[in-house]
Amino acid sequence: MPTSTRSSQFLSWSSLIQSYSRHNRIFSLSLIDALNTPLFHNTQLSRRLSLRDAKAILSWMASSEGGNRAEFIGTKKGGGGKSGAAAAAAAGGDEEGGRVWIYWRRPEEWAAALEEWVERTGQKGTVLTLYEIVEGDASRKEEFHGMDMDLLLKSLGVCVKRGKAQVFGGEGSEGVKFF
């Protein structure tokens, strides 16, 4: 198959996966479990994407060519310049049916959304719990409401690097203060 055709197919799949994940508020998925969802299995047409093809798509999404729109959980971001499957293998990650972040917004985009929300709601200088951010009434209408705590921490890490926030406290009782 010509490279441009394959890239076009990967781009279409990436767009579909991101849209599906955004619509269903999915931040990560298990590759094995996802094979039986409408995302990869069309029961009306009796068509199903194979595990090998799903892994190829997600590996492409995890590459710079795919816009870093996915990341195998348990792998180091970038994996020493390796993409997707190579990074997962190098880091000992379980790509075979393992969990994958689906970045319909990348952590830096979530960081910007969090900073904008804090500014808009007048919460600069206020200590917020992580639970309050993703489950509180004040964030109910925000896209990050219900976000996985690990993804929230990754996104807050971007805010910290930008000098916009400080995270403190122990695991399970973390708080954050935005500047």
pTM: 0.81
pLDDT digits (tens, 9 = 90+) for 146-166: 999 999 999 999 999 999 999
What fold is seen in the domain 3-102?
Arc Repressor Mutant, subunit A (1.10.10)
HEC profile for 4-60? Answer: HHHHHHHHHHHHHHHHHHHHCCCCEEEHHHHCCCCCCEECCCCEECCHHHHHHHHHH
Q: What are the extents of the domains in the chain?
A: 3-102, 107-178
DSSP-assigned beta bridge partners for residue 28: 101
Task: Decide if domain 107-178 falls under CATH 1.10.10.10.
Answer: yes
pLDDT at 60 over 80: yes
Q: Tell me, what's the pLDDT at 2? A: 65
The mean pLDDT value for 27-52 works out to 94
Contact 172, 150 (CB under 8 A): no
pLDDT digits (tens, 9 = 90+) for 78-137: 444 444 444 443 333 445 568 999 999 999 999 999 999 999 999 999 999 999 999 999
